[in-house]
């Protein structure tokens, strides 16, 4: 793998319940909205499941993700390809924490910060229905 080893841990406050945060992280119909312009594997189920493998891409760079752990307050993804490492999420009522470690040519800390900001914006939008 080309690139440098990078690691970052971030935590933010969000105006959302733990259940809404979980849904935003494990439901492809939701994470596709706030992770734009990333593109994801077609045909993903309504929610990620343990052992599930899917791909995302940003431009020509493709990343494979494998769900290694999932619970009501935790998601752990193993990554390979454009990023060789892992992305771990923890959350509760009013907060989200993420830890990212990997080897990549991509600026992982910048991407992680931008994604958390987008998630916070997404969670602050009024829900339909």
- Percentage with pLDDT > 70 across the chain: 98
Segment 93-97 mean pLDDT: 98
Q: Which residues pair with 64 in a beta bridge?
A: 55, 80
Q: Quick one: how many helices (H) and strands (E) in the chain?
A: 3, 7
Element (H, E) at 32: helix 28-34
Q: What is the pTM of this model?
A: 0.92
State yes or no: pLDDT of 128 exceeds 70: no
Segment 88-107 mean pLDDT: 96
Q: pLDDT (tens digit, 9 = 90+) per residue, 17-73?
A: 999 999 999 999 999 999 988 999 999 999 999 999 999 998 899 999 999 999 999
| Burial letters 94-113, b for 16+ CB under 10 A, else e | eebebbbbbebeeebeebbe
Residue ranges and CATH numbers for the domains of the chain are: 4-124 (3.30.530.20)
């Amino acid at each position: 793998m080309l690139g440098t080893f990078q690691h970052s841990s971030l935590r933010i406050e969000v105006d959302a319940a733990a259940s809404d945060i979980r849904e935003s992280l494990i439901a492809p119909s939701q994470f596709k909205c706030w992770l734009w312009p990333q593109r994801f594997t077609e045909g993903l189920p309504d929610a990620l499941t343990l052992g599930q493998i899917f791909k995302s891409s940003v431009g020509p760079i493709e990343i494979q993700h494998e769900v290694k752990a999932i619970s009501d307050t935790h998601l752990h993804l193993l990554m390979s390809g454009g990023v060789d490492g892992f992305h771990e999420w923890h959350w509760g009522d009013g907060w989200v924490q993420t830890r990212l470690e990997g080897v990549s040519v991509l600026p992982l800390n910048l991407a992680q910060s931008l994604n958390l900001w987008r998630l916070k914006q997404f969670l602050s939008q009024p829900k339909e229905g």
